[in-house]
Structure formats: structure tokens, C-alpha cells
Structure 1
Amino acid sequence: MSHELKQNMISGGMWAAGGRLVAIVAAFVLNLVLARSLTPGDYGVYFVVMSTMIILATVATLGMDRIVVRFVAAYKGVGDWTGVRAVVKRCLMTVVAATALLCLIFYFLTPWFFTHVVKMPAAIGLSGLMVLLLFVSTVQRQLAETFRGLNDIRGATLFGGFRNNGILISLITCGTLLILWASGAMTLAAAFATTVCSSLLVVIVAAWTLQRRLRTAVQPLPAAPSSGNWTTGRVLHEGWPLWLASLLGVLRLQVNGWFAAGFDSSENVALFAIADRFVLLMTAPLTIVNMLLPPVVAELYARGENKRMERIVQAVGGLASLPCIVILLLIVLIGRPVLGTLFGVHYEAAYPILVILSVGQIANIVTGSWQVVLPMTGLRRQTLHVTMWAGAVQILACTIGGYVAGVVGVALGSCVGSLTGNVLGLAAARRHLGIWTFISLRRAVLTDAVTLLSKRIAGFMPMRARDA
């Protein structure tokens, strides 16, 4: 591996981890502001609408966000900028057309959906803002992933949306909502309008930056291979398997909001929302550290060093699990008063839901980084199978649980789905790679993790110093 490629991987990993950290902090502040300034019913509506937007935005991309990363990177690697432009243009046009059509359908189905499916008629009056948010957020994601395909992780992180840890959208939205809260002007409509305007601003800047970069790019290799005929049919054919896997993954994470709203009141949905968002803090250290693992896993697998890969994955997981375990203990011991102090007395009732969801996250922590290992070793089909089975179990469990016990039952169903998915993922890594990905807290293994991460950060610092 060349020195330049290693530096790009390290730099990209640091930008991605930084973006994730900013997104986590901003999301926590955002939910704190909304819970404090909106009624529980309105906050429940906000949670369900945002979950719906994330699901629909994934539907609208049709897998183009994955295709643009794969083929733009390939064409750029051989110097074929004609191919790069062709892929970018066709994928973006496909996303814009699909999103426009989905927005039109969703606008007319909004009254039925929020009356009969999730039972939140208060959201119907926000249909115009929801359609605008769906359109701009989907285009924003596509533009951000285009930068990722160009190996510009900094651009992808700066211009990304909430789902892909965008720094600008997080800071702009969070800062504006803090001002609205301080001035007493916060309403549910104002929260959505702020998000729409922030996303639109990022889209404008990202589109201008991308256009400028593609226009000024030169063709360094006269004998670059042909870019082929990138028709809409071709990109759809290439993208649908990746789209299906991405959609199933997003549904597993976001569909709980639909179940909660379908089986309980808006006020209780707000309790589920706070618990769901708060428990993300528990796995934040593991999520951030995992941002640095993909290139390491891919490189070691290519060398055939599976045992070393196993040791590093266990080490990194063990190191990241330590703060996760501390956070879990704090949730169990003082979770109820913390919820009341941060979000208001009403949200103390979210404590049982928080504990249940935390149990589900224990499996995510203990089983380690199989979510990184499987796709980075070419086991994409196995990843899809794990996601499908876990999703099916989660949907069944949430349906039964929601019918019997409302939002508490939905939390139990989510916990069952998490346990199922992580056990299946751990087993898949063992069966196909012969390794265990579960964490290790042995001193020697943790020392390996510290050494690895120190080298990654140390390798990044000189490059940044030279750039300065």
C-alpha cells in the first residue's frame, strides 16, 4: 500500500470519526432542546416524522448513493474523469427524478398514513414541510456520497446529512434551534422549517463545490478505459441489491418509531424517542472507533492474516467497550433522575424503556465489530441474510409487544431484534472466516488496541502539520 493511500485512509478515518462525534453531540443537544421546548405530543410527532424521512430518503436513492461511491472511485483510480462525470450525472438525475415522484406520492398519502398507520393526525398540517425536507435531504445525501466516491472524506463529512454524520447540517440546525429556544420562538413547524433551510443551504454549497471540482479536473491518462454507456437502466440494475440491503438496515433502526406511534399515544411515543436517542450515547465510543477499522480489516484480510485481524478487532472492541460499560452502569443507577433533570419531569417515565433498550445494546457491544468485518471481507450476501433475519424477528416481536404493552413492548421487540442480529452476525464471522469478533478485556489485547489507534493518530498528525 502506497504512503499516499495510507495517509488518505488515516485522514479519511479521522474526518469520519470527527463527523460522527459532532453528529452525536449535536443530536443530543438537539433532542434536549426539542424535549424542553415542545410538548411531549409534539416531540413524539417530531421523532416519528424524522424516522419516516430517513426511511423514505433511503427508498428514494434507489441505491445510487452506493453506486456513485463504487464506480466514481473506480474511474477516478484509472484517471477516467469522463467516466466519473457520466456516473455522477446519471446517478444524480436518477435520484432527483425518483425523489420528486416519491414526494408527490407521499404528499397525497400523508393524511392516510398519519391517520391510520401511525395515528398522528397533528403531522398532517406539516405535509408541505415534510415533502421539502424529503427532497433536499435525499439530494444532500447523494451529493455527500459523491464526494466519498472521489475519496474526499472531508467533503463527504462536511456536506453529509443527519444520517451520514454531516458536520455542517448538525452545527447549523443545532445552533439555529438553540437561538429559537432562547428567544421563546420554538414550535414544531419552526423545527422542521429550520431543518429544511439548513439542508437546502448545505445542498447549494455542496453542489457548487462538486461542480467546480468536476469542471476543473483534467484527464491525466490519454488511454483511459471507456466509461461505457451509463443509462438509467444500467444504474438501476447495478444499484438494486445494494439499495435493498441499505433499506433493510435503515428499517431495522428506524421502523420502531412507526410501531410505537401505531400502538400508543404521542406522549408515550415521546418517552420512547428520548430513551432511543439517549441510549445511542452508550455505543458512541464503539461507533467512533469502528470508523477507523474498515481499511485495517480489508488490508489484513487481503494478506490472509485472519488471526491477526481477529486479535485487532477484539482489541479495538474491548477498548471501546470500557466507556460503554461505564455509561450503562450510570444509566441503570441514575438514569431516572438524569432523564428528569435533562429533559423534564415527564421523561422520567422513560426509564424502563431506556433500561430495556440498553440491554439490547449490550449485545451490540459484546459481539464486537462484525458489522465491519463481514462487508470488508466480501461477505455481503451473508450481511444481507443477517439483516433480513434480524429484521423479520424484530418486526414480529415489535408487533406482538406493541399490541400487548405499547411502547414498552416495542422496546422489548427492538431488544429481541438486536440480540438476534448480533448473535447471527457473530456466528457468520465465525463460520465463514474462522474468527470470533466478540470483545476482549485482556490486558495484552487492550495494549494492542492502544498501539494500533496511536499509530493511526500519529500517522495523521504529521500530514495535518504539513498542510498547515
Structure 2
Amino acid sequence: MMPANFSSLITTLRGGALWRYAAGLGVRGVETIGKLGLYVAVGARLGAHDAGLFFLCLTWIGIVSTVARLGFDRAMTRHIAAELAVGNGRAARAALVQGLALTALASVAAALLTVLVAELAAVRLFGFPDLAWPLYLSALVLVPQTLAFSLGAALAGFGRGVAAQVVQNALWPVLTLAALLALPIAVEGVIVALGAALAASCLLGGAILLRERDRLRTIPAQPAAEALPSLWATARPLLVVEITQVGLSGLPVFVLGMVADAATVGAFSIASRISMLIWVIIISIGTLAAPRYAALYRLGDSDGLRAYNRLVQRGAALVAVPATLVMLAVPEFLLGLISADFRVAALALQILALGQMANGLFSCQDILLAMAGKGDVLWRLNLLQLAVGLVLCGVLVPAFGLTGAALAASLTVLQGALGTHWAARRHVLSIGRN
């Protein structure tokens, strides 16, 4: 006979969660097609050199925006979901308002900083003087990029995982691709179109959040057994985690940009983004799982948490392993769909895909740790991962170029997947076992 809590989990899934997962994966399918189409169009319309400049800007935007979110995105997801689980809507509202206000201010500061250092970074850091103007324009993208991700994280806390994915990841690549296909624009125009698409995502996210305002007025009948820490106390270690992770994803690109030409950077960036389509799907599953992780942990349902975690991991592996096999089998074909110039990165794509398969086999444990309030464990793991990544990039990229960048990226991904898997077993999933 199944345990009562496991039976309840299955009943819940049959009652609608499976449909939400299907819808979430459908949205990620739209995102995948949109991003792949955007990468194809960028490669075809801009050429290898300008595509390399665009991907350097995209990497810059991703890193700086992550810093500007200050860790409040995952913290909001945790606090909103956990407080709503015990009926405390007013506490959830406080977390929402504080998180959005502080990230908005930080995003403006990040945009101003980008304007100040754009020319210096283009000339001194990367050695591409023609990168300066695209970096200036990238400052315009930072505010909507930061707010779109923060609004999506808040929506995830409300259990609106599908809407969160649309706001964070699915709408902007489709809109940017449409602009690139419809208008005769260069690299600067693509960046402006990206900013406009992200602004549209922010408007959509804000409109959906307004529909949840009634849930933010409730007060629990009795206080929860354990109060949550302040939002900043939750966000602080997660900020370290987010910076480390985005730094690790951008580090091989930046180091390669210092030792190779823009065309090589473009080829590696395309291979990296194709391999990260696996990660995109895993993040989709994690976004949907995050509020339930937070709620089950807050309610102390250890058996339900373990059962739900197994379900999440099996679903991610079911998607990640076949996708990896395709990338291993036909890397040149996949790269050739974008441009024949990028086939030089075929081996790099295979190496990167192996790293992402490790993510698929040990998926979402970083999200589980974050939703359980184990940010201190996560940041220690991530700093160790960053130290290893710096050494690997410093040794492998100058020695082996594009292939070395792929090896460094893949090995750090493997380290992160194994580390969070071990930490989740020790610090979260072992609690409550007889």
C-alpha cells in the first residue's frame, strides 16, 4: 500500500499538475524554437564577426543583470510560495514589494555602470573597438531584463510557473526574432529589439501579477511554527550563487574572447547555446517545481518532498538524455543549420552536451536547496565550483582554444551537478527518515 502522502501527491498530479507540466514544457518548446531561430537568424544576417559581438553583449547583459537581481528572484519565489502555503498573504506581499523595488533600483545602477565602462571594456578587455556602441545599447536592455526575470520569479512563487516562463524566457526571443526577420537591422538594431521585447515581457508579467492581488490580503488563522528569515537573509547567499553561476556560464566566452577572434567566439557561443537548450528544459521543470518544493518543506512533509523530488528528476532525465544523444550524434548538422562557419565547433558541442546530460541526470537539486533555505550550502558549493572553473579556463582555453573552453565549461557543470546532488541528500532529503 502506498503511503498516504505519496497517494496525495499522485492525486494532486492527476488533478492538474501534469497539465501544468505539459503546458510548461510546451512554453519551453516555443522558447527553444524562438531562441534557436534567433541564433540562426543572427548567424545568417550578421555574419560570424558581428554575431560574435552580439553574443558578447548577450553574455554581458546576462551577467550584469544577474548581479542586479541581488538574489531576490529566487528569494521571492521561496518566500511567496512558503507564506502562501500557510495562508500569510500579507507576508507574501511584503516580500514581493521589497524584492521588486530593490531589483528595479539595482538594475538602473547596473545600466549606468555599463555606460561608464562600455568603451573601456570593448577596447581594453576584449580588443574589439567596434563592440563599444553595442555595449552602450546593452545598458538599455539591463532594466527590462532584470525586471522580467524578477517578475517571473514572483509569478513562480504564486504557482504560476507557466506564466513565469513566458515572461522570463519565451516571449522575448520570439519577438526579437520577428523584428530581426521583418526589419533590415544590424547588430545594434538587434540589441534595441531585444530591449523592446523584454519591456513587453515586463508589461505582461505585471498584468498577470495584478490578477493575484486578492491572495496577498490573507492572514493565517495561527502563526506558522517557524517564521521565515528576512528576504535579504534568504537572498544574500543566493546572490553569491547567481553571480557564480552566470559567471561560470560566461567565463569561457570571455576568456576565449581574449585569446581568439570574434568568429571563434561566435562559433563557441552558438555551440554553447545549443547545448544549453537541455538546461532550458531543466530550468522549466525547476521553475514549476520550485513553489511546491518550498511549500512541502515549510509544511514539514518530508516523505512528500522526497517523492516529489524523484518525480521531478525522472521527468528531467527523460527529456535531457535523448536530447544529449542527438547532439552527440549529429553536431555538425545542428551547427550547419545556423551557418557552415559554425561547424568548426562540432567537437565543442559534443563536449558541452555531455556536461548538460549530467545536469539532466542530477537535475533541480540547486533549486531544492534554495527553496529549503539552504543558501549557505549552495554558495559554498558554488564558490568551489568557480575556483575550479577559473583554473580550468586559465589552463585549457589558452592551450586548446575553442575545445578547451568547452572542456572547462563541461567539467564545471559536472562538478556543480554532483555537488548539489550530494548536498540535497545530506541537508534536505535525509530529514525525517526513520
Q: Deviations over 1:137-156 (max 9, x none)?
A: 11222222222223333432
Match of 1:394 in 2: 389
Seen in structure 2, the aligned counterparts of structure 1 residues 219 and 139 have a Cα distance that, compared at 3 Å, is closer
| RMSD across aligned positions (CA) | 3.7
Q: How does 1:65-464 map to 2 (within 5 A)?
A: 65-160=73-168, 165=169, 167-180=170-183, 185-211=184-210, 213-214=212-213, 219=217, 221=219, 235-281=231-277, 295=292, 302-304=301-303, 315-316=314-315, 319-331=318-330, 335-340=331-336, 342-367=337-362, 370-371=365-366, 374-375=369-370, 380-428=375-423
Contact 1:96 1:139 in 2 (8 A): yes
Q: Which runs of 5+ in 2 are unaligned?
A: 225-229
Q: CA deviation at 1:37?
A: 0.6
Unmatched runs of 5 consecutive residues or more in structure 1: 227-233, 436-468
User: If you compute each CA radius of gyration, which structure gives the higher value, 1 or 2?
Assistant: 1
User: Do the aligned residues in 1 keep the contact of 2:165 with 2:284 (CA within 8 Å)?
Assistant: no
For residues 77 and 242 of structure 1, do their structure 2 counterparts lie closer, same or farther at Cα, with a shift above 3 Å needed?
Answer: same
Contact 1:297 1:309 in 2 (8 A): no
Q: Secondary structure of the residue that 1:388 maps to in structure 2?
A: helix
Q: Equivalents in 2 of 1:175, 1:339: separation in Å? A: 21
What is the CA distance between 1:344 and its match in structure 2?
Answer: 2.3
| Change over 3 Å in CA distance of 1:154–1:411 after alignment to 2 | closer
320 and 266 in structure 1: CA distance in 2 versus 1, 3 angstrom threshold = same
8 Å contact from structure 2 (residues 90, 219) kept in 1: no
Q: Is the CA contact 1:257–1:269 (under 8 Å) kept in the aligned structure 2?
A: yes
Change (3 A) 1:150 1:317: closer
**3-state SS of the aligned residue for 2:43?**
helix
Worse-superposed segment, 415-424 or 130-139: 415-424
Give the Cα–Cα distance (whole angstroms) in 1 for the partners of residues 372 and 416 of structure 2.
18
With over 3 angstroms needed to count, the CA separation of the structure-2 counterparts of 1:16 and 1:91, relative to structure 1, is: same
Q: Distance between the aligned counterparts of 1:425 and 1:322, measured in 2?
A: 19
* 8 Å Cα contact 1:402/1:410 also seen in 2: yes
Question: Aligned partners of 1:30 and 1:152: how far apart in 2?
Answer: 26
C-alpha contact 2:294 2:371 (8 A) present in aligned 1: yes
Q: Distance in 2 between matches of 1:398 and 1:118?
A: 16
Asked whether the 8 Å contact 1:282–1:328 carries over to 2, the reply is no
Give the C-alpha shift of residue 368 in structure 1. Answer: 5.6
Pair 1:343–1:97, CA change in 2 (3 A): same
Structural mapping, 1:20-99, within 5 Å = 20-99=28-107
TM-superposed CA distance for 1:8, in Å, is 6.5
Structure 2 length-normalised TM = 0.81
Pair 1:261–1:434, CA change in 2 (3 A): same
Whole-angstrom CA distance in 2 between matches of 1:346 and 1:18: 31
Identity %: 22
Q: Distance in 1 between matches of 2:374 and 2:88?
A: 29
Residue 196 of structure 1 deviates from its aligned partner by 1.0
| Mapped partners of 2:74, 2:307: distance in 1 | 29
Q: Deviations over 1:17-49 (max 9, x none)?
A: 333222222111110111111121110111111
Q: Is the 8 A contact 2:115 2:139 kept in 1?
A: yes
Flag the 1:176–1:96 CA change in 2: closer, same or farther, 3 A. same
- Within 2, Cα distance between the matches of 1:66 and 1:290? 11
Q: Do 2:133 and 2:188's aligned partners in 1 also have CA atoms closer than 8 Å?
A: no
Deviation at 1:275, TM superposition (A): 1.1
Aligned residues of 1:72 and 1:87 also touching (Cα < 8 A):
yes
Q: Deviations over 1:303-349 (max 9, x none)?
A: 44898678757754653355135314423xxx325423x12222221
TM-score (norm 1): 0.76
